[in-house]
Amino acid sequence: IEEFCRCRRAGANLLMNVGPTAEGRVPDYEAAALARVGDWIREIGTDALYRGEAAIFETPGKDEAHPHEDFGMLVTRDDGARACYLYCFGITATADTRVHGTHARGPGPRTFTGVPAGFTRATWMDTGGEAKLDRSGDAVTLHAEAYPYGINTVVRVARLTA
């Protein structure tokens, strides 16, 4: 799912090298991985993944030691309505790198620059719950919450609306 999001950020497609067995079947473990990605796509919605302009909002302060992968995409629908989707990587129960790896940041504020004016509300795509959003000029700060118990969508996506 993370690799799929990185591809969409670049405006690319993800080639998943899945081949059939000698009997012509997709192995169960590969079918399960594809099914999970399909579940995630249905949960997030295709607008957020396929109709966006690639990688237009990014998190400031990236460097080699602290690579922040969070990004946002702007979507303009056929009817002219616009929405913005913010993709948050590394939301873990804690930011304990002994448990979650060196890129874990845990819940907390995520700032995105270059977000057009007018977007004032945020909704988590996985739960439908409202997310706290602050704006300062062309930057917004999304207060990334930990996943609710029993849910972990790997990359958490918030939809911004006016």
In sequence order, which ranges of 17-158 are alpha helices (DSSP H)? 28-44, 46-50, 97-100
- Predicted local distance difference test score (pLDDT) of residue 102: 57
Distance (Å, whole) CA 143 – CA 117: 18
Q: Which of 148, 145, 37 is nearest to 158 (CA)?
A: 145
Model pTM score: 0.81
Contact status, residue 104 vs residue 95, Cβ threshold 8 Å: yes
- Predicted local distance difference test score (pLDDT) of residue 69: 80
Spans of the chain below 50 pLDDT: 55, 63, 65-66
- Predicted local distance difference test score (pLDDT) of residue 93: 63
